[in-house]
Amino acid sequence: MKAQSKAQQKAAGAALSAKRGESKVSDLQGASKDMYDSMTEDELEDMASTSRGDLPDEK
């Protein structure tokens, strides 16, 4: 699943970082925390890798 906004792509990147142990889970909040709990690492990677060029800031 591709990200539909820059904010969603950024939240997925934060959740992915926590999944990989690169950042603290306790630092997550809002959408990134929900994504961390409900999505697999592969799903997060797919969403975080979406090109931000044509995405709106928020949806």
pLDDT digits (tens, 9 = 90+) for 12-51: 999 999 999 999 999 999 999 999 999 999 999 999 998 8
Phi, psi values for residue 52, rounded to 5°: -85, -5
Tell me if 56 is assigned to some domain: no
Tell me if 1 is assigned to some domain: no
pLDDT computed for residue 52 by the predictor: 84
d(CA 19, CA 6): 20
pTM of the shown model: 0.90
What is the DSSP-derived secondary structure letter of residue 57?
S
Question: How many domains does the chain contain in total?
Answer: 1
**What is the extent of the structural domain holding 36?**
6-48
d(CA 32, CA 53): 21
Tell me if 55 is assigned to some domain: no
Tell me if 20 is assigned to some domain: yes
